[in-house]
Structures are given as structure tokens and as C-alpha cells.
Amino acid sequence: MRDGKPPAERIPILKMGEFLLVTIQVEMHDRLVMGLQDELTQQIVQHRARGVLIDISALEIVDSFIGRALGNIAKMARVLDAETVVVGMQPAVAITLVELGLNLEGVRTALNAEKGMALMRRGFDAR
Amino acid sequence: MPAVREETMDVRSDEDVMRVRQVTRQWAIDLGFSLIDQTKIVTAASELARNALIYGGGGITRFEALHEGARRGLRLTFEDKGPGIADVAQAMRDGFTSGSGLGLGLGGARRLSNEFDIVSAPGQGTTVRIARWK
């Protein structure tokens, strides 16, 4: 881990119909988080996306910085008429988030990518 | 309490904050921490290393493995020579922030640790020390 490859400089964003899909598969330093936030916002507009799915199942921690970025993404997406769902949070991460005091306000979550996709296809209406 | 193993790392960039997380994870695994305990101390380390970088202008992180009888613990110390904190009690409150953080850093790190202490004064830098026991 400590002698591993240098961290990626950007997180790929996939377009699928009217949705954008992001699978975070690397550990994220803060600049990478900010870059994702900016790029997602641009791509929502560029592709007129209606939904954004962010898979964080590979993330081993969500600290206040990442948590706040997820909240910001959801807020900015909403202003641009798109909804965001965060999927796949590991149980240990969820427990830690609560103790940290972060509530991810305004961020919809789903257990996994499949459930998240179903939520987006339904148009997010019914809980 | 004497540490049985010790290591110090510089914290001067975003990448260093990430490395602090990785090294903390490895130490917690070596000490036999559960996944939840690993996640808690790694998250606390991330908050405190970022604080040292953003508010302290960079600093160091010290890792110490603690053995007390059969108990195993990990102590982390974050030191910076930055401007320091005038009102530590206020800085501990959630929502308080003087930089670009959310203000959950200190209070959150305390809740994720078994032991927490902070020494800071204007012009004197800030030292935060936490420990988590297995």
C-alpha cells in the first residue's frame, strides 16, 4: 500500500442514458475529491443528466471532507435538476460516519448499485 | 507508557494526508484491531492530519504501538507549528471552523478515539494526541 502506484488524478465518470455513473475505486486525496465535484457538475449540464449514481463500495473511509463533498454534489446536482444517489457504503464506514457526526443531509443512499439504479429509474419519487 | 514501536511522518500535502490514513490502517491491522476500530482510527487520523495541513501549515504525525499488559493500543500524535488555537473549547465544538473544513474535525476525532488531548496556544502551534485501544 505504502509503495503502491501514485494516486489517480481523476475519477472516471460514465454516461449511461440520462444518468451519470461514478465508481470510486481509488483512495481519494482532497484535490481528487474537489476535482470530481467540479467535473460531475460540468457533465450534468453537458449531458443534461437526470441522475447521478456514486458507488463508494470500495471506499474504506468517509471523513468529513469526503462527506461534505458528497453533500455538495447532491446539492449542486439538484440545482441542475438532477438527483444523486450514493450506493454501497460499507457497514464500518456507516458506523464511523454516525459517530463522526456526519449525517449526509440531502444525500439519497441505496444499499448497492442495482438498488440505486432502480431508484433513479423510478425517478426517485417513492421511498 | 512506553511505546513498543514508533514512526514519524511528515504531513505537507494532500497525498501525505492520504498516506497517514494508509499507515494508520496498517498499524491498526498489525495490532489486531477489528475492521470497525480500524475504520474509526483511520477516519480520526484523516481529520487530524488534514487539520495539521490546513490550519497548521503542515506538520508531523507520530505513530506509537502501545502494549499495556494484554491490551494493545495505537497512539497518534499530530503536531504543527502553525498559528495555534486561541479558544480550544470553541474549536472542539461541531460546526466551528476557521478554515475550509467543516468543523467536525476535532469533535469528530475525539468521538472516534478512546483518549484525546489537545495542547494549543496562539503562536505555539497545535498538538493533538489520540489513542484507541483494541
Q: Do A65 and B102 touch (CB under 8 A)?
A: yes
Q: Above pLDDT 70, what percent of chain A?
A: 91
**What are the DSSP calls for chain A, one per residue?**
-TTSPPPPS---EEEETTEEEEE--S---HHHHHHHHHHHHHHHHHHT-SEEEEE-TT-S---HHHHHHHHHHHHHHHHTT-EEEEE---HHHHHHHHHHT---TT-EEESSHHHHHHHHHTTT---
Is pLDDT at B95 greater than 80 in this prediction? no
Asked whether residue A65 is domain-assigned, the answer is yes
Identify the burial level of B22 via C-beta atoms within 10 angstroms of its C-beta, where 0-12 means exposed, 13-18 middle and 19 or more buried: middle
Q: Which positions in chain B have a beta carbon within 8 angstroms of at least one beta carbon in chain A?
A: 14-15, 17-19, 21-23, 25-26, 35-36, 38-40, 42-43, 46-47, 50, 94, 101-102, 104-105, 107-108, 111-112
Q: How many CB pairs under 8 A join A and B?
A: 79
- How confident is the prediction for chain B on average, in pLDDT? 91
- What is the pTM (predicted TM-score) of this model? 0.91
Domain of A23: which CATH number? 3.30.750.24
Q: pLDDT grade, residue A24 (50/70/90)?
A: very high
| Residue A107, in any domain of the structure | yes
So what's the pLDDT on residue B98? Answer: 53
Residue A3 is assigned to a structural domain of this protein: no
Q: What is the pLDDT, as a whole number, of residue A127? A: 46
Answer whether A101 sits within 8 Å of B50, measured CB to CB.
Answer: no
Instruction: Pick the more confident residue, B98 or B110.
Output: B110
Span B39-82, pLDDT tens digits: 999 999 999 999 999 999 999 999 999 999 989 999 999 999 99
Percent of chain B whose predicted confidence (pLDDT) is above 90: 77
For residues B101 and A97, the model is more confident at: A97
The dihedral formed by the CA atoms of A92, A97, A100 and A106, expressed in degrees to the nearest 10: 180
Q: What does the domain layout of chain B look like in residue ranges? A: 3-133
Strand-pairing partners, residue B55, are: none
Q: For domain B3-133, which CATH number applies: 3.30.565.10, 3.40.630.30, 1.10.10.10, 3.40.50.720?
A: 3.30.565.10
Q: What's the gap in Å between the CA of A110 and the closest CA on chain B?
A: 21
Residues A44-65: what's their mean pLDDT? 96
CB atoms within 10 A of CB B66: 19
Domain that holds residue A17: 13-121
Residue A103 lies in a domain: yes
Q: Is the pLDDT of residue B2 over 70?
A: no
ipTM over 0.85: yes
Preferred mutation among B14, B34, B38 to probe A, highest tally of A CBs within 10 A: B14
Does A7 fall in a domain? no
Number of residues written out for chain A: 127
**pLDDT value at A16 more than 70:** yes
Residue B96 has pLDDT above 70, yes or no: no
- For chain B, what is the radius of gyration of the CA atoms? 14
Task: State how many domains chain A has.
Answer: 1
